[in-house]
A = this chain, B = another copy of it.
Amino acid sequence: MEPEKSPVSAAETGEQTVEQTVEQTGEDLDLDLASIFVSDAQFNRNIFFDSSPQAVRLYMLYNHWGLKVALFFFLLLDLSLALFEDPALVHLPLWATLSLELLCVLVFAARLAHYARVIPPDKFWKDPKNICIIAILTLTLLDMLIYGSLKALDCPGVRWSRVLRPLLLVNVTEGRQLRRAVRSIRNALPQILLVFLLFIFSILIFSLMALKLFSKRGLKTTDGAPYFTNFLHIVFDLYVLVTTANSPDVMMPAYNSSSLFSVFFIVFILVNVYIFMSVFLAVVYNNYKKHLKEEVRQLVRAKRHKMARAFAVLQQKSAEGAEPVVTHDRWSRLVRRVRPDISHAHKELLWSVCDPEEKGAIGKLAFVQLADLLNIEVITLKQRPHPLQTLSPALYLSAPSRLLCTIVLHRGFVVLFDLIILVNAVFIALDEENPLISNSEWFFLVVYLLEILLKLYVHEPRAFFSRHNFWNWFDTVIVVAALVATVANSALKSASGYTSRQILDIVFILRVLRLVRVVDSIHRFRAIINTLIRIGPAILTFGQLILVVYYVFAMVGMELFQGRVRFLDSEDPERSHCGNVLLTDSAFARHNYCKNNFNHVVSSFILLLELTLVNQWHVLSSGFSLTTHPAARLYFILFHVTVVIIIINIFVAFVLEAFFVEYSVEKSSLQNSVEKKIQELQLGVQQEKMEENLVNSMETMDSDQENGQKKKPTLVFKIASKRYRTVDALIQRIFENDLDPEDFNENEDETNGNFSNPTFNL
């Protein structure tokens, strides 16, 4: 019985406890408890906390954003210690890194102790996550002790516990998304393994055939080495061919000897590259979808159950035998506790969605929606007059001023600036040594600044810079930064006669980035970019997963291969063979890959990225196997299997799935009912005129006000269309159509089934 696993049994025992606590401490504690249930439901936290008053207070503290930020800061610190530890990018003395690590370990231990106070002891000790953290922390302390003593005695030591660091990311309570990704990979593993075995069998069969066909022919590779004579080398070469990294080189000697041999390679490529790689994607995708669906189903059930518990805490009966309800007053105080940041108007909007008939109280079904309602991002627009209008209405509303506004809001204004950007692109491409070109930069800077000022003249500044206007922010930041950098560069140049290469680089990058703005003007491009931005946060989960895998491989790689290959200054005579005579005349040194090494954590990460791209990975791996042992290739093969075959395929599966949802589903039913309500209350921004762009919507409002026909409300709402506050919500949406909205019957057996193992076993 892990804590995250048993919201059901928690409910059954919990409700009794709740009844008692209500009598004891009354209203305030009720609201605390209910708000915890609601926020747990909102963020899909499945923590079996004790419902005693102290435990509830502690649990609220445990979920405080400050503590979470601190935790992630220390996690990041712990991971980034690799920069300063031997082999270091920036060298720090051993006592400094060890004491920093000790600090991190203490913080994690404190966090875990806090968690232990929140949940009942028996639950705590049954949760593999907690055991994992304790094990990792103990092993880390042990390793620090051993390594510290060894170094004090000047003996060589291995910091093996660094491999365990990224696993903390998976096992902390907040690593929910990551844990789910790891779990879906683990569930897909048996199927993947099966196909992988068949794939390996196929490679072995082809290798055997290659051995028999080519070994006696005395063929030579381009380097003059014997071609296909050793079985293990053939297996490796054919595995590399599956990744296409040595195509067509591996085929050339045989093909040069007889065209017919190309048949062997064509069959091999068709079977292993096209068929098997597609099957890998299909198997990974299929398993990923299947398990994710089951998990999300369980998550939604757990969420409904938590909301039902919150309802049980707050419910009141108007009369004997009547259905229990929650009154507007209690509901309102609950929402204020759960989300203190949302405006009163927004809260009332949500209430009117829950209580469309204005009864003043809502039943269980309506109450349960709250968690999803809070996840719908509603943008509150305060419709204020322009500050200049308040300052001097006569001037701002005068004919020339209004003409200016009309010009700025005209479609032609956008087209004009797109043309200016294109001209600017040509000027950037030309040589900046030419004084005309370099001076033109000042002209463009002024023009862009003018554009922003004009827009600020027309639009209300706070609306212009509201959180959701990505492109306005982008424009302003880029232009202002370019201005600052250009001025700094000129000042430096005129003061010392010397141009800073770094500042110039920044200026160049900013100048080119300005051109990106053109994309926003083309409606169809904007749609694609918006889709990408929307699925972005969900993709970041995979970023974390990649980080964990990269970190583990980087730590192992650094222990195995550090110092074997060195990047030397151009004056050094050993430069041609990367500081290691074993690499003389090797393909690795010939390609000038010396800087691709495991000598510190940053170069390790860059090398691993190159391996992820697959191309030339056999050359990279040959460098390290030549300088150590042929078995070093296993490290690179293992990396390829883990990252390229498994993780990249899951990434592709996720992107495909997210795209299909974006394309096919329009809005969730709950979003629709909120939107309908906004329309009913006439608080909506006219969607069709607005087109996801607040600048245009302002135009509509302005002209309405000028016409003075009807006093518009000063506050309007808008749903941040199809954007999700949490990744869960996106995943849930994927399977929304398959879920029954009335399904409250929790079945304990099912809850204890497949999904309910939200921990990462080492």
Contacts and interface: CB of A to CB of B under 8 A. Distances in A.
A194 B615 contact: no
A377 to B, nearest CB: 23
Interface in A393-436: 425, 428-429, 432
B279 A509 contact: no
B512 A222 contact: no
A603 B259 contact: yes
A225 to B, nearest CB: 13
Contacts of A279: 528, 532, 655, 659
Contacts of A209: 508-509, 512
A519 B231 CA distance: 21
A213 B505 contact: yes
B248 A651 contact: no
Contacts of A281: 652, 655-656
Interface string A174-196: 00000000000000000000110
Contact of A205 (B213, B512, B596): B512
Interface stretch (A92-100, A266-274, A688-696, A744-752): A266-274
A198 B602 contact: no
A163 interface: no
Interface in A512-534: 512-513, 515-516, 518-519, 524-525, 528-529, 532
A673 interface: no
A441 to B, nearest CB: 12
Interface string A577-607: 0000000000000111101100000110010
Given A274-B651, A278-B652, A613-B269, A249 B591 contact: yes
Contacts of A592: 222, 252, 256
A252 B660 contact: no
Give how many copies assemble into the complex: 2
Interface in A239-261: 244-249, 251-252, 255-256, 259
Given A208-B512, A244-B614, A249-B616, A198 B525 contact: yes
Contact of A595 (B201, B212, B252, B595): B252
A312 to B, nearest CB: 39
A285 interface: yes
A247 to B, nearest CB: 4
Contacts of A511: 212
A282 interface: yes
A282 B659 contact: yes
Contacts of A208: 425, 428-429, 512, 515
Contacts of A283: 659
Contacts of A197: 525
A361 to B, nearest CB: 43
A544 interface: no
Given A212-B511, A248-B616, A512-B212, A198 B282 contact: no
A65 interface: no
Q: Using C-beta atoms within 8 Å of the partner chain, give the interface range for chain A.
A: 35 or more
Contacts of A266: 606, 609
Given A255-B595, A603-B259, A651-B278, A246 B615 contact: yes
Contacts of A251: 610
B616 A247 contact: yes
Contact of A213 (B248, B278, B509): B509
A567 interface: yes
Contacts of A610: 247-248, 251
Contacts of A513: 205
A194 B656 contact: no
A275 interface: yes
Interface string A636-662: 000000000000000110011001100
Contacts of A369: none
A211 interface: yes
A472 interface: no
A721 B528 CA distance: 43
Contacts of A285: 656
Contacts of A614: 244
A286 B663 contact: yes
B593 A252 contact: yes
Nearest to A253: B592
A130 interface: no
Contacts of A195: 528
A262 interface: yes
A256 B198 contact: no
Contacts of A248: 593, 596, 610, 613, 615-616, 620
Contacts of A596: 248
Contacts of A620: 248
Contacts of A663: 286
Given A201-B519, A205-B516, 5 more contacts: A208-B429, A209-B508, A247-B615, A252-B592, A278-B655
The 7 closest A-B pairs by CB, nearest first: A212-B508, A282-B659, A278-B655, A248-B610, A244-B615, A209-B512, A247-B615
Interface of A: 194-195, 197-198, 201, 205, 208-209, 211-213, 222, 231, 244-249, 251-252, 255-256, 259, 262, 266, 269, 273-275, 278-279, 281-283, 285-286, 425, 428-429, 432, 505, 508-509, 511-513, 515-516, 518-519, 524-525, 528-529, 532, 567, 590-593, 595-596, 602-603, 606, 609-610, 613-616, 620, 651-652, 655-656, 659-660, 663
7 contacts: A198-B525, A198-B529, A209-B508, A213-B508, A249-B616, A259-B603, A282-B656
